[in-house]
Structure 1
Amino acid sequence: MRRGYHLKSSIAFVFFVVFLCFISLLIITMMKVPDIITSNGSMSFYNNMNSLKASDNYNSIGSFGNMMINMLPEDLTFTVFLPSETAFERDLRLNTSDSLVGEKMNDTYALISRVLGFSAIPRVLDSTMVSAGKEVSYDSLSGFELFVSKDEGGVLVVNGVKLERVDIRRGKLVVHVIDGVIMDAEFEQSVQPDFDEDD
């Protein structure tokens, strides 16, 4: 009887040791697995790999562009159709020497935040996601509908405005620089001067 008891105890002991080794091995293995938790259909390490440092593209989108980008939360995904510095000056009469100083700063901030509402969509849309010859539409943050397509030369166009540069990454943001400002008719009338500058 004692011999059978020792045999059963030895088997139980070996089973227990093997079980502990298996659990330890499992825990160690799981600790070494890279983080591949998906968010919005893309892997987190893929997002980090494609992100550019802010210093890499800070100057490429200008002061007003950076002001607009900084209005968006860093932890959410957006695509922004960002006016070029030339478009800010030509279409909205904003220039860095005058519009970012003193009391005009608040007006500039309000104007740019309004443009952001027309220009940003809450999803990733890079240039490869738009097929040639097809038009896709998305609602911007303000509910304004954006129509995105590629022209015959393969250049992206949004609401009739050509894109100058595409697929600039800023963390989770995708930025496309456009040669114009996206806005509705009412806002466009409000930013036009009351008189003709040639008079």
Structure 2
Amino acid sequence: MKIGKVFNQLILIMLMLVSLCCMIVVIMSMFTLPDLSTGKIVESSKMEGRYSKGEKLGKFGEMMIEMLPNDLAFTVFVPSEKAFERDLRLRANQSFSREEWDNVYATVSHVLGFSAIPRKIYAGLLPRGKDLSYDSVSGFTLYISKGFDGVLVVNRVRAERIDIKKGKVVVHIMDGVIMDAEFEQSVLPNDDGDQMTMDI
């Protein structure tokens, strides 16, 4: 009888200790979690900072964001204007004929399919040195990591700016275009270097 009482008291003490530890962990985590609602980025890095609501993503980046539904959360890895020009030969200040514009629109929508994920992913919350994989809306697998230097990398393309909020969309501006090998072959420049070959 005495042994049963001691055993019950030990169980009660253990439960109280576990509850106390859980409460301490919850309280500590409340103080260390970043406040995402203010738009501030917690980690310090050259890429990170505060972004105004009027942050410009460039002509093609804005085009990509406009193609998404307004009421759903997405993360989009938008190529920088330089990346669009370097990798796809699309210049923001170029005037396009109607036929060229159709090709540009198709190209940008393909890039969106490869680089948009239907969920919010903040670079400031990613663990360093750990690879994560997500399927984009086109089914293309994106391998996302953050190096120990704090730089976000997606399929070997490094980020220039991160965690920009555009409504329900989280935007990361990348120094390259994320695409599969087949699409990359279809948009390789011709010999003259000014036009794109489009096999879309």
Normalising by structure 1, report the TM-score.
0.69
Deviation at 1:103, TM superposition (A): 2.9
Q: Which residue of 2 aligns with 1:190?
A: 186
Deviation at 1:193, TM superposition (A): 2.2
Aligned length: 149
Q: Which residue of 2 aligns with 1:116?
A: 112
Gaps of 5+ in 1: 1-45
Deviation at 1:53, TM superposition (A): 6.7
Q: Which residue of 1 aligns with 2:73?
A: 77
Q: CA RMSD of the aligned region, Å? A: 2.1
Matched, 1:103 2:99: yes
Could you tell me which of 121, 124, 127 is aligned with 1:125? 121
Matched, 1:164 2:187: no
Is the contact between residue 58 and residue 92 of structure 2 (CA under 8 Å) also seen in structure 1? no
How far apart, CA to CA, are the structure 2 residues paired with 1:81 and 1:88? 12
How far apart, CA to CA, are the structure 1 residues paired with 2:81 and 2:164? 16
* Alpha carbons of structure 1 residues 153 and 50: separation in structure 2 relative to 1, 3 Å: closer
Which structure shows the higher helix fraction? 1
Bigger mean CA deviation after superposition, 187-196 or 118-127: 187-196
Is the contact between residue 47 and residue 171 of structure 1 (CA under 8 Å) also seen in structure 2? no
How far apart, CA to CA, are the structure 2 residues paired with 1:83 and 1:99? 20
Normalising by structure 2, report the TM-score.
0.69
1:50-106 CA deviation, whole Å, 9 max, x = no partner? 49775x11x3x1011001110001100000000000000000000123254533211
Aligned-pair identity (%): 56
Larger Rg belongs to: 1
Is the contact between residue 47 and residue 172 of structure 1 (CA under 8 Å) also seen in structure 2? no
Matched, 1:178 2:155: no
Is the contact between residue 75 and residue 119 of structure 2 (CA under 8 Å) also seen in structure 1? yes
Deviation at 1:128, TM superposition (A): 2.3
